[in-house]
Structure 1
Amino acid sequence: MDQIAITRTVTVAAGPFAAGHLGELTRLVPFEMVDDVLATTRRTQRRVRLLPARVVVYLLLAGCLFADCGYRQVWAKLVAGLRGLPVPDPSGSALRQARQRLGPAPLRALFDLLRGPAATGAVATVWWRGLLPVVIDGTMIAVADSPANLHRYVKHRCNNGGSGYPTLRLSALLTCGTRTVIDAVFDPSTTGETAQAERLARSLRAGMLLLADRNYCAADLITAFTATGANLLIRCKTGRRLPLIHRYRDGSWLSVIGGRHVRVIEARISITTTTGSHIGDYRLITTLLDPSRYPAADLVTLYHQRWEIETAYLELKSTILGGRVLRARTPDGVDQEIHALLIVYQLLRTAMVDATDSQPGLDPDRASFTTALNAARDQVVHAAGVIADTVIDLVGAIGERVLANLLPERRIRTKSRMIKRSNSKYQARGPNIDRRTYKATTSIDVITNDP
């Protein structure tokens, strides 16, 4: 019988640093970057242990790629492709102590280095009339029910008492076109989204167009947002009384909130399919006051991109975490894990944008996050692409897998959001959830009746 042998060469760091890698994603968070962060935060080990600080950083990042595994199992993934090398076999206790020695500061500093809009050539799909659409919103994440965590994080009250797990509130500022993280903050769930939004305003800049839902349409927040030089497109409650100062030709009108002139757009959106029509009324306010340059109907269409952050949270909580509770059992551990989660998300998004940029005109929305995640996991297990060759391949194995499994054009949403837990034996919203795709016709009518 004919046989063939496959010989594979793996290049990793030397000695006790060999296990410190993230597969091909190491190119986006290289050894030098991690070492610099450790030096800046004064977490570099005084003597080289079996678990150097750099290795522990990569262990925490790999823990987010393999959220269903304990850290002993994550370690096994990191060293699976290093057969023949004298790598240590630490106990679970040793891994825990190494994480505690490291603390949360290096992960925070690393996230600060990596956060921000992804560099992309897809200007037509990422930018809108010279502005960068960004979005802000919050979500809840469950943390481990441990005595240490309960000193900081609280449980929500339910009909039958308290919920099973304490929770934290995470708020993020994302770019709409690439879904990369510009900034993020998290606190106990007792801290509201608007309080977190005031802190996220530090990352808004002139040239950005902030999209947000009705929760953020408060006078003090609008003042804080506009002070950064960014423009706003925020949904507003239809029953809110706003003075009509001037009516524009496109049906929008000039008003004022908190001493700031805004333009108000009221529109009725209808989506018609073979199953019938769905109609909804929207009221938006914007600081873009020129109706000829920014027509009302175009702004209503653009506002739909606010939902990009919901997709990003789905990728964080469902695709990466698989709906699981965070594993850390101390507040410092939660700090570590949240920042590691954001870093891994940002790395995957960056790899996806690099891949779609290799094909001019390809929308970053066509890249599959699940495909990128699974490809990155494979590269870790094989310790592949850890150190780049002299010729840099921006696409790489992850990008090749993404380009080979592009998503179809996004379908039109005709229903409100539904929660459906994967692989659940319980029905989330009734027995019949129609998930078929229909050809749809969308119409936007700007309402011109005086308020």
Structure 2
Amino acid sequence: MPLLNDLLDFSDHPLMPPPSAQLFAEHLPVEWIQHCLTLSAHATVRRRRLPGDMVIWMVVAMAFFRNEPITDVVRRLNLSADGEAGMNLLARSAVTQARQRVGAAPVEWLFHQTAQTWGAERYQKDDWHGLQLFAIDGAQFRTPDEPELREHYGSANTSTERQSAYPVMRLVALMNLGSHMLLDAATAPYRR
């Protein structure tokens, strides 16, 4: 994947300047970003320091820089309306509030759009005897111990009075084995 190659090139050369949101913009059509923002439950009139489109870029970048704090990702990519996402100019709470303001629906739509588009692409060495290879796998994750999460996902041992220490979420995903592209994913409560 060209985007992954660009990011790997960046990580191989630590003295290079950090990539900008422009790097991601080369691989994600701006129309997709604009459309997914129309799905946000929260409309805003004022122009914020961290507008919705920048929040979407931030979420995409978080997948590539997953070992870094979110605020560092914002600063690394200089994601802000005025182009000044410096250390003292953008509060951590602003990043959290921006993610909450945009919500999950735009990111979910973008995931499905990219999976549908890129998942249909064929790559060299992607075939086995003329067939594409896919895998389905699942996992369980402990979530933060919040009442809403426990009510939605449940516990690992809900057949008794006792509950596990954390709510447990199940995840299942479909992946192309050649490109490692996730084509679909779903979460569900532990007992369902």
Calculate the TM-score normalised by the size of structure 1.
Answer: 0.33
Please say if residues 18 and 76 of structure 2, whose CA atoms lie closer than 8 Å, have aligned partners that are also in contact: no
The residue aligned with 1:96 is 96
State the shift of 1:38 in Å: 1.1
Deviations 1:172-216 (A, max 9, x none): 12223222222221112223xxxxxxxxxxxxxxxxxxxxxxxxx
Q: Secondary structure at the match of 1:144?
A: coil
The residue aligned with 1:50 is 49
Please say if residues 43 and 106 of structure 1, whose CA atoms lie closer than 8 Å, have aligned partners that are also in contact: no
Q: Distance in 2 between matches of 1:165 and 1:33?
A: 36
Instruction: Go from structure 1 to structure 2 and tell me whether the alpha carbon gap of 1:53 and 1:11 turns closer, same or farther (over 3 Å shift).
Output: same
State the shift of 1:141 in Å: 2.2
State the shift of 1:106 in Å: 0.3
Q: Distance in 1 between matches of 2:23 and 2:42?
A: 25
State the shift of 1:163 in Å: 4.0
Please say if residues 35 and 44 of structure 1, whose CA atoms lie closer than 8 Å, have aligned partners that are also in contact: no
Q: In structure 2, what residue type is equivalent to 1:119? A: E
Instruction: Go from structure 1 to structure 2 and tell me whether the alpha carbon gap of 1:145 and 1:11 turns closer, same or farther (over 3 Å shift).
Output: closer
Q: Distance in 2 between matches of 1:50 and 1:142?
A: 33
The residue aligned with 1:119 is 121
Pairing of 1:268-347 with structure 2 (within 5 A): none
- 1:71 and 2:70 matched: yes
The residue aligned with 1:142 is 142
The residue aligned with 2:3 is none
Deviations 1:416-450 (A, max 9, x none): xxxxxxxxxxxxxxxxxxxxxxxxxxxxxxxxxxx
Please say if residues 38 and 44 of structure 1, whose CA atoms lie closer than 8 Å, have aligned partners that are also in contact: no
Instruction: Go from structure 1 to structure 2 and tell me whether the alpha carbon gap of 1:67 and 1:145 turns closer, same or farther (over 3 Å shift).
Output: farther
- 1:107 and 2:107 matched: yes
Deviations 1:305-351 (A, max 9, x none): xxxxxxxxxxxxxxxxxxxxxxxxxxxxxxxxxxxxxxxxxxxxxxx
Q: Secondary structure at the match of 1:115?
A: helix
State the shift of 1:10 in Å: 9.0
Instruction: Go from structure 1 to structure 2 and tell me whether the alpha carbon gap of 1:104 and 1:25 turns closer, same or farther (over 3 Å shift).
Output: same
State the shift of 1:118 in Å: 5.4
Please say if residues 40 and 103 of structure 2, whose CA atoms lie closer than 8 Å, have aligned partners that are also in contact: no
State the shift of 1:113 in Å: 0.7
Q: Secondary structure at the match of 1:47?
A: coil
State the shift of 1:43 in Å: 5.4
Q: Distance in 2 between matches of 1:50 and 1:107?
A: 20
Please say if residues 78 and 84 of structure 2, whose CA atoms lie closer than 8 Å, have aligned partners that are also in contact: no
Pairing of 1:2-81 with structure 2 (within 5 A): 21=21, 24-41=23-40, 45-79=44-78
Please say if residues 39 and 105 of structure 2, whose CA atoms lie closer than 8 Å, have aligned partners that are also in contact: no
CA root-mean-square deviation? 3.4
In our comparison, the structure showing a higher alpha carbon Rg is 1
Instruction: Go from structure 1 to structure 2 and tell me whether the alpha carbon gap of 1:157 and 1:77 turns closer, same or farther (over 3 Å shift).
Output: farther
Instruction: Go from structure 1 to structure 2 and tell me whether the alpha carbon gap of 1:147 and 1:73 turns closer, same or farther (over 3 Å shift).
Output: farther
Q: Distance in 1 between matches of 2:114 and 2:178?
A: 17
The residue aligned with 2:84 is 86
The residue aligned with 1:174 is 175
The residue aligned with 1:184 is 185
The residue aligned with 2:130 is 130
Report the identity percentage: 27
Q: Distance in 2 between matches of 1:163 and 1:100?
A: 28
Instruction: Go from structure 1 to structure 2 and tell me whether the alpha carbon gap of 1:155 and 1:98 turns closer, same or farther (over 3 Å shift).
Output: same
State the shift of 1:114 in Å: 0.5
State the shift of 1:109 in Å: 0.8
Q: In structure 1, what residue type is equivalent to 2:185? A: A
Structure number with the bigger relative contact order (C-alpha 8 A, sep ≥ 6) is 1
Q: Distance in 2 between matches of 1:97 and 1:72?
A: 12
State the shift of 1:138 in Å: 1.6
State the shift of 1:166 in Å: 2.0
Instruction: Go from structure 1 to structure 2 and tell me whether the alpha carbon gap of 1:94 and 1:11 turns closer, same or farther (over 3 Å shift).
Output: closer
Instruction: Give the total of aligned pairs.
Output: 169
State the shift of 1:121 in Å: 4.0
The residue aligned with 2:13 is none
Calculate the TM-score normalised by the size of structure 2.
Answer: 0.69
Long gaps (5+) in structure 2 = 1-15
Q: In structure 1, what residue type is equivalent to 2:172? A: S
Q: Distance in 2 between matches of 1:26 and 1:177?
A: 24
Instruction: Go from structure 1 to structure 2 and tell me whether the alpha carbon gap of 1:66 and 1:157 turns closer, same or farther (over 3 Å shift).
Output: farther
